[in-house]
Structure 1
């Protein structure tokens, strides 16, 4: 397998780049070849996925290892070929795609060419819970008012809510104060509990 190529960038066109290394010109198919345009004539490293089938061998190229690894993961999903996987990685990027999988955002996933509801569900089924362990991303959870709330804050907030439940407060009461608690960004568990108690005693 060819993991990456170090060489001089000789050609950039709408479908691929050509990198010369040790006298050999490697044609590498990329989602966005013109991302490399500013390095034309320079020595570059391009991360590659060597796609091999009985009748074809193709090098697909990526700017960094995360994009390459995500491409490989998507390619494992039934119904997704290299063209579709390349389009997803090139359009969405790692952060947005992983977030869409973890939040089961079918609308986002079906926005890619050739991805219908059935394929979107298959991607979620095959990849949810796996990508978040492999890639260094921060998920964002959108509350009822559309405010982004990152996954770390969500975890801390859940700990505080559990503590409030143990004090005898009902789910209905906790649900009423949750939107206000979410405004306390980057708070720790004790801070959420104190703010929660103050809100609950006002009701």
Structure 2
């Protein structure tokens, strides 16, 4: 099994990056490709090597926690690699873990590709297993995030640290202030989770690609 790759990102798309490892290009599908394209430095991407009858795929993650959560999600009936990837694009591992621990159906059904029945299966299958994940998760801190995740106005992100960091990273990729302002107008009017910087970047880039 391939546990991680270390190299330089030479190509990226909305769903994957290609990493040059000693003149071999590895395509890795990842929750947010733009996590890895902020500079030309060597990056380490933790992986899950997925083999099926018609394909051999590599999924890549910025942290061990993402990698571990991805593998746990695959244990849930009805959740395949693509859905698990979408879940991690929609929320931080510790926040997802806290929602499962707290049996927060409302939160879980806001994640991409998750309906009520699948959310119930996630709780049933994973609630007693997440403490065993190496490194663990800060359930108490994540619980605080969950309290306000869906209440009030989505404008709670306006001017917040997460959006400011995402905006700075996007500006470094060459986007203008006017383009980023337009992207934010689309983001702030849509229902959102308490998103990470990487998730905000991915959603902003989707808006920017629309023109």
What TM-score bracket applies, with the shorter chain setting the length?
0.5 to 0.7
Question: Secondary structure at the residue paired with 2:87?
Answer: helix
Are residue 109 (structure 1) and residue 139 (structure 2) matched? no
CA contact (8 A) 2:30 2:61 kept: yes
User: Partner residue of 1:5?
Assistant: 5
- Please state how far the C-alpha of 1:132 moved relative to its aligned partner: 2.7
Q: Does the 8 A contact of 1:48 with 1:61 survive in 2?
A: yes
1: CA distance, partners of 2:132 / 2:23: 40
Question: Which consecutive segments of 4 or more residues in structure 1 shift more than 3 A?
Answer: 140-143
Higher relative CO (Cα under 8 Å, sequence separation at least 6) belongs to 2
Q: Could you state the TM-score of these two structures normalised by the residue count of structure 1?
A: 0.66
* Higher percent of residues as strand: 1
- Give the secondary structure class of the aligned counterpart of 1:58: strand
Task: Name the counterpart of 1:14.
Answer: 14
Q: Secondary structure at the match of 1:8?
A: strand
Q: Secondary structure at the match of 1:139?
A: helix
Question: What is the correspondence of 1:74-113 to structure 2 with a 5 Å cutoff?
Answer: 74-113=73-112
Alpha-carbon distance in structure 2 between the residues aligned to 1:23 and 1:141 = 40
Question: What is the CA RMSD across the aligned residues, in angstroms?
Answer: 2.0
- Could you report, residue by residue, the CA deviation over 1:113-168 in whole angstroms, capped at 9, with x for unpaired residues? 3211111111000000211332232325979xx69xxxxxxxxxxxxxxxxxxxxx
What's the counterpart of residue 49 of structure 1? 48
Cα distance change, pair 6–112 in 1 and its aligned pair in 2 (3 A): same
**Which TM-score applies when normalising by structure 2?**
0.64
Which consecutive unaligned segments of at least 5 residues does structure 1 have? 148-203
For residues 131 and 120 of structure 1, the distance between their equivalents in structure 2, rounded to whole angstroms, comes to 15
The whole-number CA distance in structure 2 between the counterparts of 1:140 and 1:44 is 28
1:99-178 equivalent positions in 2, closer than 5 A: 99-134=98-133, 135-139=136-140
